[in-house]
A = this chain, B = another copy of it.
Protein backbone atom coordinates (compact mmCIF):
# COMPACT_ATOMS: atom_id res chain seq x y z
CA UNK A 1 0.00 0.00 0.00
CA UNK A 2 0.89 3.65 -0.13
CA UNK A 3 3.44 5.36 -2.29
CA UNK A 4 6.91 4.08 -3.01
CA UNK A 5 9.39 4.91 -0.30
CA UNK A 6 12.73 6.66 -0.50
CA UNK A 7 14.56 3.47 -1.34
CA UNK A 8 14.03 -0.24 -1.67
CA UNK A 9 15.27 -1.05 1.79
CA UNK A 10 12.79 1.25 3.50
CA UNK A 11 10.03 -0.29 1.47
CA UNK A 12 10.99 -3.78 2.59
CA UNK A 13 11.33 -2.64 6.21
CA UNK A 14 7.87 -1.17 6.07
CA UNK A 15 6.39 -4.23 4.42
CA UNK A 16 7.96 -6.77 6.77
CA UNK A 17 7.47 -4.61 9.84
CA UNK A 18 3.80 -4.19 9.16
CA UNK A 19 3.32 -7.90 8.55
CA UNK A 20 4.97 -8.65 11.88
CA UNK A 21 3.13 -6.02 13.88
CA UNK A 22 -0.24 -6.98 12.45
CA UNK A 23 0.41 -10.53 13.57
CA UNK A 24 0.72 -12.25 10.21
CA UNK A 25 3.88 -13.81 11.60
CA UNK A 26 3.47 -14.77 15.23
CA UNK A 27 5.90 -14.23 18.06
CA UNK A 28 8.50 -16.97 18.16
CA UNK A 29 7.89 -17.95 14.57
CA UNK A 30 10.50 -17.43 11.90
CA UNK A 31 9.99 -15.05 9.04
CA UNK A 32 10.55 -16.48 5.53
CA UNK A 33 14.21 -17.09 4.84
CA UNK A 34 16.28 -14.59 2.96
CA UNK A 35 16.10 -16.10 -0.50
CA UNK A 36 12.36 -16.59 -0.27
CA UNK A 37 11.94 -12.91 0.59
CA UNK A 38 14.23 -11.94 -2.27
CA UNK A 39 12.00 -13.75 -4.71
CA UNK A 40 8.74 -12.59 -3.13
CA UNK A 41 9.73 -8.94 -3.20
CA UNK A 42 11.92 -8.97 -6.26
CA UNK A 43 14.96 -7.44 -4.61
CA UNK A 44 18.49 -8.59 -3.94
CA UNK A 45 19.63 -10.33 -0.81
CA UNK A 46 21.57 -7.20 0.19
CA UNK A 47 18.36 -5.24 0.50
CA UNK A 48 16.59 -7.95 2.46
CA UNK A 49 19.46 -8.29 4.88
CA UNK A 50 19.73 -4.56 5.50
CA UNK A 51 15.99 -4.38 6.09
CA UNK A 52 16.18 -7.21 8.61
CA UNK A 53 19.01 -5.41 10.38
CA UNK A 54 16.71 -2.40 10.72
CA UNK A 55 13.95 -4.52 12.20
CA UNK A 56 16.42 -6.17 14.56
CA UNK A 57 17.55 -2.74 15.75
CA UNK A 58 13.95 -1.93 16.63
CA UNK A 59 13.75 -5.11 18.67
CA UNK A 60 11.23 -6.81 16.41
CA UNK A 61 13.31 -9.78 15.28
CA UNK A 62 16.50 -11.65 15.97
CA UNK A 63 18.59 -13.56 13.44
CA UNK A 64 20.74 -16.59 14.05
CA UNK A 65 22.52 -18.79 11.55
CA UNK A 66 20.57 -21.86 10.57
CA UNK A 67 17.68 -21.12 12.93
CA UNK A 68 16.46 -18.25 10.80
CA UNK A 69 15.08 -14.89 11.82
CA UNK A 70 12.45 -15.15 14.53
CA UNK A 71 9.99 -12.59 15.83
CA UNK A 72 10.87 -11.54 19.37
CA UNK A 73 8.28 -11.29 22.16
CA UNK A 74 6.33 -8.06 22.00
CA UNK A 75 7.73 -6.96 25.35
CA UNK A 76 11.10 -6.57 23.62
CA UNK A 77 9.73 -4.36 20.86
CA UNK A 78 10.64 -0.73 20.94
CA UNK A 79 7.05 0.38 21.23
CA UNK A 80 7.95 4.06 21.10
CA UNK A 81 9.69 3.78 17.75
CA UNK A 82 7.88 6.00 15.25
CA UNK A 83 7.69 3.26 12.63
CA UNK A 84 6.29 0.66 15.00
CA UNK A 85 3.73 3.12 16.29
CA UNK A 86 2.69 3.86 12.74
CA UNK A 87 2.35 0.18 11.87
CA UNK A 88 0.28 -0.44 14.95
CA UNK A 89 -1.97 2.49 14.14
CA UNK A 90 -2.54 0.85 10.77
CA UNK A 91 -3.93 -2.27 12.45
CA UNK A 92 -6.02 -0.44 15.01
CA UNK A 93 -9.48 -1.11 13.67
CA UNK A 94 -11.34 -1.03 16.99
CA UNK A 95 -9.55 1.91 18.58
CA UNK A 96 -8.05 -0.16 21.37
CA UNK A 97 -4.60 1.00 20.47
CA UNK A 98 -5.72 4.61 20.59
CA UNK A 99 -6.97 4.06 24.12
CA UNK A 100 -3.57 2.72 25.12
CA UNK A 101 -1.80 5.65 23.51
CA UNK A 102 -3.98 8.09 25.42
CA UNK A 103 -3.50 6.19 28.65
CA UNK A 104 0.25 6.43 28.27
CA UNK A 105 0.03 10.12 27.60
CA UNK A 106 -2.03 10.60 30.74
CA UNK A 107 0.69 8.91 32.72
CA UNK A 108 3.59 10.90 31.32
CA UNK A 109 2.53 14.31 30.09
CA UNK A 110 1.25 15.88 33.31
CA UNK A 111 4.57 15.46 35.08
CA UNK A 112 6.35 16.55 31.93
CA UNK A 113 4.32 19.75 31.87
CA UNK A 114 5.24 20.37 35.50
CA UNK A 115 8.90 19.88 34.70
CA UNK A 116 8.63 22.22 31.75
CA UNK A 117 7.10 24.82 34.04
CA UNK A 118 10.02 24.44 36.38
CA UNK A 119 12.81 24.93 33.91
CA UNK A 120 11.82 25.75 30.34
CA UNK A 121 14.19 28.29 28.85
CA UNK A 122 12.87 31.54 27.42
CA UNK A 123 13.35 30.15 23.95
CA UNK A 124 11.51 26.93 24.74
CA UNK A 125 8.59 28.87 26.22
CA UNK A 126 8.53 30.92 23.04
CA UNK A 127 8.36 27.73 20.95
CA UNK A 128 5.41 26.48 22.99
CA UNK A 129 3.70 29.84 22.73
CA UNK A 130 4.14 29.92 18.97
CA UNK A 131 2.62 26.47 18.64
CA UNK A 132 -0.37 27.59 20.69
CA UNK A 133 -0.78 30.72 18.57
CA UNK A 134 -0.82 28.52 15.50
CA UNK A 135 -3.53 26.40 17.12
CA UNK A 136 -5.51 29.51 17.90
CA UNK A 137 -5.17 30.71 14.33
CA UNK A 138 -6.20 27.45 12.67
CA UNK A 139 -8.93 26.36 15.10
CA UNK A 140 -12.31 26.29 13.47
CA UNK A 141 -11.16 26.19 9.88
CA UNK A 142 -7.93 24.32 9.12
CA UNK A 143 -8.13 20.80 10.55
CA UNK A 144 -4.78 19.69 9.18
CA UNK A 145 -2.99 22.79 10.36
CA UNK A 146 -4.57 22.54 13.80
CA UNK A 147 -3.45 18.93 14.13
CA UNK A 148 0.13 19.84 13.24
CA UNK A 149 0.15 22.73 15.69
CA UNK A 150 -1.36 20.58 18.42
CA UNK A 151 1.35 17.95 17.95
CA UNK A 152 3.99 20.64 17.99
CA UNK A 153 2.58 22.16 21.18
CA UNK A 154 2.85 18.93 23.10
CA UNK A 155 6.20 17.96 21.57
CA UNK A 156 7.73 21.30 22.52
CA UNK A 157 6.67 20.69 26.09
CA UNK A 158 8.47 17.34 26.05
CA UNK A 159 11.52 19.15 24.74
CA UNK A 160 11.23 21.77 27.44
CA UNK A 161 11.51 19.19 30.21
CA UNK A 162 15.22 19.31 29.49
CA UNK A 163 15.23 15.54 29.86
CA UNK A 164 15.95 13.66 26.62
CA UNK A 165 14.17 10.53 27.81
CA UNK A 166 10.88 12.33 27.30
CA UNK A 167 11.63 12.91 23.62
CA UNK A 168 10.30 9.58 22.31
CA UNK A 169 6.97 10.33 23.94
CA UNK A 170 6.45 12.87 21.17
CA UNK A 171 5.97 9.95 18.80
CA UNK A 172 3.11 8.69 20.92
CA UNK A 173 1.55 12.12 20.97
CA UNK A 174 1.67 12.44 17.21
CA UNK A 175 0.18 9.03 16.60
CA UNK A 176 -2.45 9.56 19.27
CA UNK A 177 -3.66 12.86 17.87
CA UNK A 178 -3.69 11.65 14.29
CA UNK A 179 -5.51 8.50 15.20
CA UNK A 180 -7.87 10.42 17.40
CA UNK A 181 -8.77 12.67 14.53
CA UNK A 182 -9.71 9.64 12.45
CA UNK A 183 -11.70 7.92 15.18
CA UNK A 184 -13.64 10.82 16.64
CA UNK A 185 -14.13 12.20 13.16
CA UNK A 186 -14.61 15.67 14.57
CA UNK A 187 -15.64 18.89 12.90
CA UNK A 188 -13.26 21.86 12.62
CA UNK A 189 -15.40 23.71 15.13
CA UNK A 190 -14.71 21.05 17.77
CA UNK A 191 -11.15 22.29 17.95
CA UNK A 192 -12.28 25.63 19.34
CA UNK A 193 -13.00 24.21 22.75
CA UNK A 194 -9.50 22.80 23.20
CA UNK A 195 -7.75 26.11 22.58
CA UNK A 196 -8.47 27.56 26.03
CA UNK A 197 -7.46 24.27 27.68
CA UNK A 198 -4.10 24.49 25.98
CA UNK A 199 -3.87 28.13 26.90
CA UNK A 200 -4.17 27.25 30.58
CA UNK A 201 -1.22 24.88 30.26
CA UNK A 202 0.79 27.46 28.32
CA UNK A 203 0.18 30.18 30.90
CA UNK A 204 1.05 27.87 33.79
CA UNK A 205 4.34 26.95 32.16
CA UNK A 206 5.25 30.54 31.35
CA UNK A 207 4.29 31.63 34.88
CA UNK A 208 6.40 28.82 36.33
CA UNK A 209 3.54 27.11 38.13
CA UNK A 210 4.29 23.39 37.95
CA UNK A 211 1.28 22.26 39.97
CA UNK A 212 -1.12 24.20 37.80
CA UNK A 213 0.50 22.96 34.60
CA UNK A 214 0.32 19.39 35.80
CA UNK A 215 -3.32 19.62 36.74
CA UNK A 216 -4.31 21.42 33.55
CA UNK A 217 -2.52 18.92 31.36
CA UNK A 218 -4.12 16.02 33.17
CA UNK A 219 -7.64 17.36 32.86
CA UNK A 220 -7.03 18.16 29.20
CA UNK A 221 -5.99 14.58 28.53
CA UNK A 222 -8.82 13.14 30.59
CA UNK A 223 -11.20 15.22 28.54
CA UNK A 224 -9.67 13.86 25.34
CA UNK A 225 -9.85 10.34 26.75
CA UNK A 226 -13.57 10.68 27.42
CA UNK A 227 -14.24 11.95 23.91
CA UNK A 228 -12.37 8.98 22.49
CA UNK A 229 -14.26 6.50 24.67
CA UNK A 230 -17.57 7.98 23.50
CA UNK A 231 -16.53 7.86 19.86
CA UNK A 232 -15.41 4.25 20.12
CA UNK A 233 -18.61 3.25 21.87
CA UNK A 234 -20.77 4.75 19.15
CA UNK A 235 -18.83 3.26 16.26
CA UNK A 236 -18.86 -0.13 17.99
CA UNK A 237 -22.62 0.15 18.38
CA UNK A 238 -23.00 1.15 14.74
CA UNK A 239 -20.99 -1.87 13.72
CA UNK A 240 -22.94 -4.32 15.85
CA UNK A 241 -26.23 -2.86 14.69
CA UNK A 242 -25.51 -3.48 11.02
CA UNK A 243 -23.16 -6.43 10.84
CA UNK A 244 -24.89 -8.03 7.86
CA UNK A 245 -24.70 -5.11 5.48
CA UNK A 246 -21.78 -6.55 3.47
CA UNK A 247 -18.96 -4.04 3.85
CA UNK A 248 -20.44 -0.64 2.98
CA UNK A 249 -18.69 -0.79 -0.36
CA UNK A 250 -20.34 2.20 -1.90
CA UNK A 251 -19.15 5.67 -0.95
CA UNK A 252 -15.46 5.02 -1.12
CA UNK A 253 -13.92 7.21 -3.75
Contacts and interface: CB of A to CB of B under 8 A. Distances in A.
SS class of chain A's interface: helix, strand, loop or mixed? helix
A159 B57 contact: no
A168 B53 contact: no
B165 A104 contact: yes
Contacts of A77: 164, 167
A106 B118 CA distance: 15
Tally of this chain's copies: 2
Given A53-B57, A107-B115, A115-B107, A78 B168 contact: yes
A87 interface: no
A100 B50 CA distance: 33
Interface residues of A, number: 41
Nearest to A49: B50
A78 to B, nearest CB: 6
A56 interface: yes
6 contacts: A46-B46, A49-B50, A75-B167, A77-B167, A100-B163, A107-B112
